[in-house]
Amino acid sequence: MASTVYGRDPEDICSRWFDKDGHVQVRRPAVIREYNDNMGGVDLCDRMLSFYRMSTRTKKWMSRVMMYFFEVAITNAWIQYKSDSKVLNRPAKNTQQYLDFKLHLGEELLDSPPLDEPPTKTRIPQPEPSVRRLEARHMPDMMDIKHAERYRRTTMARHT
C-alpha cells in the first residue's frame, strides 16, 4: 500500500489471528492503521454490494452507472440503519437483514402514493370562428415575388 501522507514509520504492534499459531503480535505501519480505522465502511459496502447485485441487461453506460449509484445508496442506508439499531439498543433479532431491507424498501416505494399530477396546459381561449374570420386574418400572407410558380416544391417554396 502506498501513501503520500504516511511513510513506513511510525510502526505499532497489533494482534493478528493465524490458524496455526493463534494470536500473534505483528508490526503494523501507520498507513495500514489509518486504513483499518477509516475504511471499514467502504469495505463493508463493497462486500454487501457483491451479495445481491441488481441485474442490468443494458450496455448503456449511463443506465449502469445510475443503477450502481442506487445500489450504493441502498447499501449505505442499510449500514446506517444497522448502526442506528445498535445505538438504540434494538435486539439483533428485530433488525432487518440486508435482503429483507432491500425488499421492504422496494415494497414501500411501490406502495407510496403517486406524486401530484402536473397541471395540464390550459388552452388559450380564442374568439368564435365567425369573429376570427371577419377580417380574413385566417388566410396566409402572400409574398409578392416575380415568377412565384417557379419556386413551387423547391427549397424556395418558403418564400411564397
Separation CA 99–CA 107 (nearest Å): 12
3-state secondary structure of 153: coil
Residue with cell 494482534: 15
In the chain, domain spans: 7-38, 39-111
Give the model confidence (pLDDT) of 87-104 as tens digits.
999 988 888 999 999 999
Are 30 and 6 spatial neighbours (Cβ–Cβ below 8 Å)? yes
Cβ 158 vs Cβ 143: under 8 Å: no
Please tell me the pTM assigned to this model: 0.52
Q: What is the pLDDT of residues 13-64, one digit of tens each?
A: 888 888 888 888 888 888 888 887 777 667 788 888 888 887 778 888 888 8
**Mind listing the pLDDT tens digit for each residue in 98-133?**
999 999 999 998 988 877 777 778 887 777 777 766
Residue 153: left if φ>0, alpha if ψ -120 to 50, beta else—which one?
A: left
Of 54, 57, 1, 59, nearest in space to 30 by CA: 1
